[in-house]
Amino acid sequence: MSVASTHARVRKNAHPAVSSAVESLMLEERTRWAMRIHDSLTQSVTSAILEVQTLRHRIETDPDDAVTALREIEDAIRSDLREIREILFELQDGQPHVEPPVAWFVNDLANRWKLSAAVSVEGDWNGVGEPVLEAAHGILSEALANVAKHAGTKAVAVRVRLAGETLTIEVEDRGRGIPIVAVTDKDQHFGLQMMRARAEETGGSMDIRSTPGNGTLVVAVLPVGARGELT
C-alpha cells in the first residue's frame, strides 16, 4: 500500500485532531521534497538547458567544441537520472539518502555551473545532524546557482566553517550585485525565500549583503545543537 493511500485512510478514520496533525506532517513532507527537487534537479536541468541554448551558435562556429559540450551535458543528465532513481527509491523504501561531504558537494555544484570556486571547509563534521546538513546543502546549492545565473562572473568564494555549536556559510562573488529591494524579507524571488526558509527551519538566520556593481555576499548561520541536530 502506498504512503498516500495510507495517509488517506488515516484521515478518513481518525479523530479530527489526529487528522489535522497528519495533514500538517504531509504538508511538511511535501515542502521538504519540493525543496530537495528545487535545490538539485531543477538547478541542474536549468544549467543543461542554458548550455544547450548556447550550442546553437557553437555548432556552426566550433563543432568540435560543441560535441565536447554535448558529452558533458549527457553526463550531467545521466547523473540527474541516477538522483531521480535514488529519490524514487527513498520514497518507496523510506530510507534517508546519504549526502556527500560538504566540500565534494560544493565542488560538484561549481563544476555543474562552470564556476571557478575557491572552497574552504573547516571544522569537525562528525555528529552534525541531518537537518543542518540538508539546510546547508540547500543554501549552498541555491547561492551558487544564483551566482551562475545572475552575477555575471564565474569566480566565487565559498567558506563553510563549523566552530563550537555554530555552522557559518558564506558565498561571495564580485559580480554585478543585486538591488537592495531584492534581498528584503518581502522579496518574491523563490530561491532567496528558499534559502531563508532553510536557515530558519534549523533556528538559524540568513543575511544577503549586496549593492549593484559590488558583488553579493550570502551569509547563513545555523545552530549545531538543540534544534540543529537529530534527537
Q: Residue 230's pLDDT is what?
A: 37
- Segment 127-152 shows an average pLDDT of 88
pLDDT tens-digit readout, 66-111: 888 888 887 777 777 667 766 665 665 555 544 447 887 888 888 8
CA angle 138, 139, 145 (to 5 degrees): 90
pLDDT at position 143 over 90: yes
What pLDDT, on the 0 to 100 scale, is given for residue 100?
45
The closest of 157, 167, 154, 169 to 207, measured between CA atoms, is 169
The mean pLDDT value of the chain amounts to 77
In the prediction, which pLDDT does 166 show? 94
Cα 59 to Cα 65: distance, rounded to the nearest angstrom: 8
Asked whether the beta carbons of 44 and 78 are under 8 A apart, the reply is no
pTM of the model: 0.56
Q: Is 156 helix (H, G, I), strand (E, B) or coil?
A: strand
| Other Cβ atoms closer than 10 A to 12 | 8
Chain centroid to CA 86: 17
Instruction: Identify which has the larger pLDDT, 99 or 36.
Output: 36
Chain-centre distance for alpha carbon 186: 21
pLDDT of residue 2: 43
